[in-house]
Amino acid sequence: MDLQLKGKRALVTGSSAGLGEAIARLLAAEGAAVIVHGRNKSRAAAVAEGIKNDGGQATFVLGDLSTDEGADAVAGNVLADGPVDILVNNAGAYQPRAWMDVSAAEWGKSYNINVLAYVRMIHRLLPAMKTLGWGRMIQIGSSGGIEPFALQPDYLAATAARHNLTVSLARELKGTGITSNTIAPGPMLVENTRNMLLNMAGQYGWGTAWADIERNAVMQFVQNDVGRFGRPEEVAAAVAYLSSPMTNYITGALLRVDGGHTRSV
Ligand SMILES: NC(=O)c1ccc[n+]([C@@H]2O[C@H](COP(=O)([O-])OP(=O)(O)OC[C@H]3O[C@@H](n4cnc5c(N)ncnc54)[C@H](OP(=O)(O)O)[C@@H]3O)[C@@H](O)[C@H]2O)c1
């Protein structure tokens, strides 16, 4: 199937690692010109280089999206070459902190990087996108924003806000040709989550072999019908789908990529 992404320009925030990297790689493989983003220059450059080595088109930009100045720098660099057709809001940060260990100030910081960073990029890229008469605002949310568990309450609440802002944005974009949708991954296996699980394994008695740790972590926190963590490529596939002009009639939607973890119909 041709997703019709050739000629489209896509910015994927937080694509120097994890889910964002897989998203950037797949959009590029589907023909989009991709802008890789992160704060770490060597990692962002390596992802862009890897895409080019595979025959795709990629550049990279750097900037901290937890500040207006950082977002200005990223948007300024990106818009210097024209509007983007596709913005994938993905950069974010999480830690497995217990409820009573997260201060109100830390809730505020979490909201800043996990929600306001998305808002900053929407504010900065939307006016130019509107001139195209077509576009995609894709927010990465989380199954934990729908069915939270006890750990990392600040982060999970922030991901719920991502789902909500995606819908108000869809209403705001009525008649513009731009859609706004959320993809809500369940726990995904990226380097960061793998390290988190390895650190938690002793405390929770999950064993020492990776296969046991993954299975026990799924049983304890995120039971699902597939019985494992998701893989970054599985989120990337959902992003590629919602990026396609074939989905012009889908807006304000939330697509779960969570192995069936969330239970509502
Ligand atoms: N992994 C999961 O299980 C999972 C599940 C559901 C939802 N999500 C969501 O998916 C997104 C990506 O998660 P991930 O697991 O792939 O994370 P990750 O591997 O830790 O990667 C995070 C990315 O965000 C960038 N980033 C972090 N803080 C930033 C900041 N202040 N300014 C700019 N960029 C920043 C990082 O760039 P640098 O390192 O270069 O700074 C990196 O590219 C997050 O929004 C998360 O909420 C993840």
pLDDT for the residue numbered 151: 93
Range list for CATH 3.40.50.720 in the chain? 9-188+231-248
List all residues whose CB is within 6 A of at least one atom of ligand 1: 14-20, 38-40, 43-44, 64-66, 90-94, 113, 140, 142, 159, 185, 187-188, 190, 192-193
Task: Give pLDDT tens digits for 11-66.
Answer: 999 999 999 999 999 999 999 999 999 999 999 999 999 999 999 999 999 999 99
What is the pLDDT, as a whole number, of residue 252? 98
List of the chain residues with pLDDT < 50:
none
pTM (two decimals): 0.98
Residue 235: per-residue pLDDT: 98
Please state the atom number of ligand 1 nearest to the C-alpha of residue 158: 47
Q: Name the token pair of 79.
A: 């818009």
Q: Which of 12, 19, 43 to mutate to test the pocket of ligand 1 (most atoms within 8 A of CB)?
A: 19
Instruction: Please tell me the predicted confidence (pLDDT) of residue 164.
Output: 98
| pLDDT at 222 (0 to 100) | 83
Residue with CA nearest ligand 1 atom 45: 92
Atom of ligand 1 nearest to the CA of 43: 40
Residues 197, 207: contact at Cβ < 8 Å?
A: no
For atom 14 of ligand 1, the residue with the nearest CA is 18
Distance 89 CA to ligand 1 centre (A): 10
For ligand 1, the distance from its centroid to the CA atom of residue 169, given in whole angstroms, is 22
Å from CA of 91 to ligand 1 middle = 4
* 155 is known as an active-site residue: yes
β-bridge partners, 255: 183
Catalytic residue among 155, 204, 241, 249: 155
Ligand 1: which atom is nearest the Cα of residue 113?
Answer: 31
End-to-end CA distance of the chain: 28
Question: What are the residue ranges of helices labelled H in 173-262?
Answer: 191-204, 210-221, 232-243
Phi first, then psi, for residue 48 (nearest 5°) are -60, -40
Counting atoms of ligand 1 from 1, which one is nearest the CA of 94?
47
Question: What is the predicted pLDDT for the residue at 265?
Answer: 79
User: Residue 194, Cβ neighbours under 10 Å: how many?
Assistant: 15
Asked whether 83 and 132 are in contact (CB, 8 A), the reply is yes
Per-residue model confidence (pLDDT) at position 70: 98
Distance 175 CA to ligand 1 centre (A): 31
Q: Does domain 9-188+231-248 have CATH number 3.40.190.10?
A: no
